[in-house]
Amino acid sequence: MSIRLEPATSTEQLQQLAKLAAQIWNEYFIAIISQQQIDYMLDRFQSFTALKQQIEQQSYQYYFIVHDQETVGYTGVKQEAGKLFISKLYLLKQQRGKGYGGAALEELKTMAEQLGLISMWLTVNRHNSPAIEMYKHKGFVIVREQAADIGNGFVMDDYVMELALKAALKE
């Protein structure tokens, strides 16, 4: 499976990323959370303004997941405390089940290992079974449950999952 992670840094790219996020979230998450929560989370975490702020003020990096010159999804990561936090990893509906998510995780793993990081971690909604299974298949383990109040009466009800990297295994 051959994919590339193409950095999203320009205004135009971040606007494209925000549109991609809205498309994916409105299609996928309606089976898991309410439309009101989707709208709130898109505005708060994945709008153009939110993405720009995360890059400029919180050191996030965003990438388009590209296969054969076609954008199939996106990911957002942040390096913190010797670990790579995978904040976002989403695929378009017609691109799921083709191995692109796993391939993107492998690219992120290579990136994290080259940086000498000890692990990668992420949060995933407890009711998002397809994603949980994919992460487990890639070696991630559930390390804890967390319910995070994100404001406006909404809660993110997640598992925290982590994957130890080679740097950690050498110690």
Write out the chain's pLDDT in tens, 171 residues: 689 999 999 999 999 999 999 999 999 888 888 999 999 999 999 999 999 999 999 999 999 999 999 999 999 999 999 999 999 999 999 999 999 999 999 999 999 999 999 999 999 999 999 999 999 999 999 999 999 888 888 888 899 999 999 765 554
In this predicted structure, what is the pLDDT of residue 3?
95
Domain segments of the chain as ranges: 4-169
* C-alpha–C-alpha distance, residues 135 and 37, integer Å: 24
In this predicted structure, what is the pLDDT of residue 133?
95
Instruction: Look up the CATH number of domain 4-169.
Output: 3.40.630.30
Residues with Cβ within 8 Å of 61's Cβ and at least 6 positions away in sequence, in order, are: 7, 55, 76, 77, 78
In this predicted structure, what is the pLDDT of residue 140?
98
